[in-house]
Chains A and B, each alone.
Chain A
Amino acid sequence: MALVLVIDDVLMMRELVRRMLDRTNHFVIEAEDGETGLTLFSHHSPDLVITDLVMPNKEGIETIREMRRRKGDAKIIAMSGTTERRDNGYLSAAKKLGADAVLSKPFGRGELLALIDELVDRRP
């Protein structure tokens, strides 16, 4: 039962992730940009953050960096749709910046759930 914060400027993606987490007992809150995401992050201390990397207003990398700064042990998954998905460029940078894992779009539910389980301690 984890509190998951999803940050993506595209509604479709936020809905998709929410739908993927439907049958689990995780609770999802959403933000549509980095700024809002950081506010929610500070207020609610989610167990996990899933954030897109390419967003207006506050780039995903910036957001990750800031979250890492505020809470050193935050769990962050970075998503992205760049072609670098296979070539390890942008996403590896995200990892170096403090994301704990990367999810390249498009990803399947199984992939997402496996990652969440890996990163978040199960709580009753």
Chain B
Amino acid sequence: MDKHRQTISRWLFNAVDWFIPAKIKTNTEIIQGARMFLFSHLFGPFLGHTISLYILFIHGPDTAWWIFFWAITAFWPFPLVLKLTGWYVPLALVSIQNLIFCILWGCYQYGGISSPIMPWLITVPLLGFFYLPTRKTRIMVSYLIAINIAVVNVINVRYGFNNGTIPLSELSGLGMVSTCCAGIYVSMMALYYANIVSSQSELEAEIQRHLATTHRLRVATEEAGRASRAKSEFLAKMSHELRTPLSAILGYSEMLMEELDTGDSKNKDLRRIHDGGKTLLELINDLLDLSKLEAQKTDLHVEKFDLARLLASIAKEWEGPAAESNVEFRVKHEKDLGTVVNDAQKLRRVVDNLMSNAVKFAKGGRITLIASNDGRQVVIAVADTGRGISPDRMNTILDSFGNDPTETSSKYGDRPGLGLALSHRFCRLMGGDLSVESEMGRGSCFTIRVEARLACNSATNALQEAPQNTARTIGDAENTILVIDDDASALDLIGRILSKEAVVPVLCRSVAEGINRARECLPVAIILDIRMQQPDGWEALRLIREDPQLRSIKVVLLTVDDDFVKGRLLGADAHLLKPIDREALVRCVRAFCPAPRTNDLNKEKLPAAAAV
């Protein structure tokens, strides 16, 4: 039963809504009024005709009746006219006028002042205010009613109200019919109104819920941000705290060793203290690196470097230790390995880690370092002729944390397997992977694969890509860069650097000013300082990314600490460290504003980022 009712009401509402013209659909002021209007005009005349048909039944048609009949029928086309023209207010006023006419005509013809149709006058102001929501229009309705009443009085004075075409005595039933119809009509309107109002308030409740959710999300994000920052600070603090006593251990033991005679037996003890300290240092470094990785705070410091030169440097470093361990060490690669765009330091650490393991396990054997670069991927392999890795350990070796009993520190004090886990993660971070092959008794080969040109830093590459159809609007927008920083001297400095680069700088001291001017001039990039008063740079970044006009503008953050990852996640395109490094800023600007200015509106797709 309930379901039927729901289906019917839904159908009803949809039927009424069909008549609403497009331009009113979005006008929240009058849309409810329009719904009442349509409902009234679609269903009201049925009740009106109940009365007219009753009169027809008791009296038969005459001219007066026909006028009455057509006036009521005239209501039906109104919805269609509204849909076609959209002239809501004029139609509403005409309709009310027509209603007043119907009622007064009916009164005049059927009973005069005592006519049972007179009570219908009550519905007129009711409908007037249902239809028209604004003060202005309601005043118009009031005038309309007043004018009509005035006119009727004039007619009354001039011509007098007779008793109409039908004497009152014959209208006995009409009172009942009229009152019933009026009652039904008003109830109908009220029910409909209640329904649409309740659905309106449901909508509003939902909006409130959404707003509440958004607020909670924002609070949660801020919390997460705070937690993340707290974690960062903790890591930095721990790093600092741990290194101080280590400095003492390493420093004093080293000095004592230097100051004692070489033959002194105490030297051996001091050497052990010193080596212990060094091991501790490596462990701490790895631990902190791993923590950073887990907290997703590790940044890639991407740079362009000569691969062959890096390998040569590594090779030189390991010649000595290899010789000491009686291991033959060979390096195999083409003379020119080209330039690589990736994190050189991390790559070096990974290779060092592999070499250290190889030297440990290939005593008296051979280590080969093989490298290649095909332009897309760099492959570096470290192969040793050690004892190999057992099959059941192969699965876990790259991710184990040294819990394995067979992988404890050797007598040379080397650290357990923390390094491989780190190396593995580093490789992944650099856009590649670390893999291992091994055969028991024959040897092992660890292979590093990383991207030769790491995507997020291919500023130069992107400029050579095929131009895409990202049309820009104004010619000058190409070379406008907006800067937001509350530090006047920093702003001035950046402004001066930018001006020398054929760029139009727009300097703003506050986020509010910056956002407004960005909307006006649509710069090609926005340089944002993070450390400002509320609203700070993060807030500005959020505003920019949420604004449909500004969303596609490149954003460069100025930071003191390395919040690269956070910035990238929140939508920044590049970073510069404060204090401003002129060259870094210029490089960044050049990446976003291609130097040869063409007037072609189809600009190339701008590079993703120029991480510095």
Q: Closest A residue to B292 by CB, please name it.
A: A83
Given A88-B301, A96-B579 in contact, is the A83-B285 Cβ separation under 8 Å? yes
Which chain A positions have C-beta within 8 A of B288?
Answer: 83
Whether B581 contacts A96 by the Cβ 8 Å rule is: yes
Q: Is B254 within 8 A of A108, CB to CB?
A: yes
A19, B252: Cβ atoms closer than 8 Å: yes
A16 touches B247 (CB 8 A): yes
Kindly provide the distance from the CB of B42 to the nearest chain A CB, expressed in whole angstroms.
Answer: 72
Name A109's contact: one of B249, B255, B561 (CB within 8 Å).
Answer: B255
Does B217 lie at the interface of the complex (its beta carbon under 8 Å from any beta carbon of A)? Answer: no
Contact of B240 among A81, A93, A107 (CB under 8 A): A81
A90: B residues at CB distance < 8 A: 561-562
Proximity bits, A82-106, B CB within 8 Å = 1, else 0: 1110111110110011000000011
What separation, in Å, do the CA atoms of A90 and B560 have in the docked complex? 8
Say yes or no for B121: interface residue by CB 8 A criterion.
no
With the chains together, A100 CA to B332 CA distance in Å?
A: 39
Q: Chain A contacts of B235 at CB under 8 A?
A: 83
Identify the interface centre among A54, A80, A93: most chain B CB within 10 Å of its CB. Answer: A93
In the complex, which residues of chain B have a beta carbon less than 8 angstroms from the beta carbon of A16? 247-248, 251-252
Q: Which residues of B contact A109 (CB under 8 A)?
A: 251, 254-255, 258
Among B254, B259, B299, B581, which residue has its beta carbon within 8 angstroms of that of A87? Answer: B299
Whether a CB of chain A sits under 8 angstroms from the CB of B281 is: yes
Residues of A within 8 A of B245 (CB): 12
Whose C-beta in chain A lies nearest to the C-beta of B277? A106
B240–A82 CB distance below 8 A: yes
Which residues from B are CB-within-8-Å of A80? 240
Q: Which residues of A contact B248 (CB under 8 A)?
A: 12-13, 16
Q: Is B244 in contact with A10, judged by CB distance below 8 angstroms?
A: yes
Tell me whether A93 and B244 are in contact (CB under 8 A): no
Residues from chain B with a CB closer than 8 A to the CB of A81 are 239-244, 247
State the CA gap A8–B527 with chains docked (Å): 35
Q: How far, in Å, is A98 (CB) from chain B's closest CB?
A: 9
Q: Which residue of A lies closest to B278 (CB)?
A: A106
Is the CB of B345 closer than 8 A to any CB of chain A?
Answer: yes
**Residues of chain B with a CB closer than 8 A to A89's CB:** 299, 301, 561-562, 577
Q: How far is the CA of A84 from the CA of B238 in the complex (A)?
A: 13
B68 to chain A, nearest CB (A): 90
Which of A83, A87, A93 makes the CB contact (< 8 A) with B579? A93
A28-64 contact mask (Cβ, 8 Å, vs B): 1 or 0? 0000000000000000000000000010000001000
Of the candidates A10, A82, A96, the one whose C-beta lies within 8 Å of that of B236 is A82
Closest residue of B by beta carbon distance from A12:
B248
Query: Does A1 interact with chain B (Cβ within 8 Å)?
Result: no
Interface pair A88/B345, CB less than 8 Å apart: yes
Interface string of B217-257 (1 = CB under 8 A from A): 00000000000000000011101111111111111101100
A20 within 8 A of B: yes
Residues of B within 8 A of A108 (CB): 250-251, 254
CB-nearest residue of chain A to B346: A87
- A10–B420 Cα distance when bound, in Å, is 34
Of A61, A97, A106, most B-chain CB atoms within 10 Å: A106
Chain B residues with CB under 8 Å of A96's CB are 577, 579, 581
Please tell me if B17 contacts chain A, counting CB pairs below 8 Å: no
Q: How far is the CA of A88 from the CA of B344 in the complex (A)?
A: 12
CA distance A108 to B246 in the complex (A): 11
In the complex, B275 has a CB within 8 A of chain A: no
Structural contact, A106 and B247, CB atoms closer than 8 A? yes
Interface residues in B437-456 (C-beta closer than 8 Å to A) = none
Closest CB in chain B relative to A60 CB, distance in Å = 11
Complex CA–CA separation, A105 to B531 (angstroms)? 28
Find out whether the CB atom of B562 lies under 8 angstroms from the CB atom of A105: no
Chain B 272-302, CB-CB to A under 8 Å as 1, else 0, gives 0000010001000100110010000001010
Known: A20-B255, A105-B246. 17 other contacts (CB 8 A): A12-B244, A12-B245, A12-B247, A12-B248, A13-B248, A16-B251, A19-B255, A81-B240, A81-B243, A82-B239, A88-B345, A89-B299, A89-B577, A92-B577, A93-B560, A96-B579, A105-B244
Which residues of chain B have a CB within 8 Å of any CB of chain A? 235-237, 239-252, 254-255, 258-259, 277, 281, 285, 288-289, 292, 299, 301, 345, 349, 560-562, 577-579, 581
A–B complex contacts, Cβ < 8 Å, 29 sampled: A12-B245, A12-B247, A13-B244, A13-B248, A19-B251, A19-B252, A23-B259, A54-B236, A54-B237, A54-B240, A61-B560, A80-B240, A83-B235, A83-B236, A83-B239, A83-B285, A84-B562, A86-B349, A89-B562, A96-B577, A97-B579, A106-B247, A106-B249, A106-B277, A106-B281, A107-B247, A107-B251, A108-B250, A109-B255
**7 interchain residue pairs of minimum CB distance:** A81-B243, A106-B247, A81-B240, A105-B243, A89-B562, A106-B250, A83-B239
